[in-house]
Amino acid sequence: MRTATDRALIRSRFLAVDVANVADVLDDLGHRHQALATDVTCVAGRERLAGWAFTISGAMSDTPGRDPLKAQACTQIGPDEVSVWQGNGSGVCYFGELVAIGMMQRGSPGAVLDGGVRDRKWLHELGFTTFSRYPAAVQTSGRWRVDAWQQPVTLPGASGQPVIIEPGDFVLGDDDGVMVIPAGIVDVVLEAAETMTDKEIDVRAAIRDGMTLADAMTEFGRI
């Protein structure tokens, strides 16, 4: 069981590595289908997101009134956790500014949605980093409802295969996309990605100092 301090430290270290490097490490480890669909992009915030997955799922519903399970789910999220929303819906926003404020108060740095979000201007001003498939002004009341949280969810994957996200997996997003790192290999992936990042710094410096790309590939291997 990781302590809160350990979780926060791991998150801060992941913020210093690129999604592309994590993708390469996961490939090397045989986890070749961990990237979310390419239409899941940053729509608000700092364009860099890292955190432990707090999963939420829902579905279209014509039940009128507010969504009590959404409120319950969002008040359970904790520090350094990223809400990951399995939508099963279309054309509606799953949350906006006010829900984001509540999640931020609990220490969440952002969210990833297989669906829509609204209040992007305000989310951006809040610094609540949000990756979603599309903007949507239409609210969910009477259209879509949360049905579970902290259960495995499935989101479309970039390779065409779905990505299963378990509570406690690690989510990393930047302007290259979003990767999901299974909880059991978080430490291995982080250390390898940090090593790859350091290597890229050396390669970059060598090329700037006049080394040819061919020589760099010979000296440093895959780049």
Annotated binding site for substrate: 96-99, 118
Per DSSP, 210 falls in state T
Question: Cα separations (Å) of 23 from 5, 32, 46, 192?
Answer: 26, 8, 20, 11
Residue listed under structure tokens 């302007």: 175
Phi, psi of 204 (to 5 degrees): -60, -45
Per DSSP, 162 falls in state -
Residue listed under structure tokens 């999604």: 19
Distance between CA 69 and CA 94 in Å, rounded? Answer: 12
The annotation places the binding site at: 96-99, 118-119
The annotation places the binding site for Mg(2+) at: 119
- DSSP β-bridge partners for residue 81: 52
DSSP 58-75: EEE----S--HHHHHHHT
Distance between CA 124 and CA 43 in Å, rounded? Answer: 8
The pair of three-digit structure tokens given for residue 139, joined into one six-digit string: 């609210």
Interior angle at CA 128, CA 55 and CA 135, nearest 5: 80
Distance between CA 141 and CA 154 in Å, rounded? Answer: 23
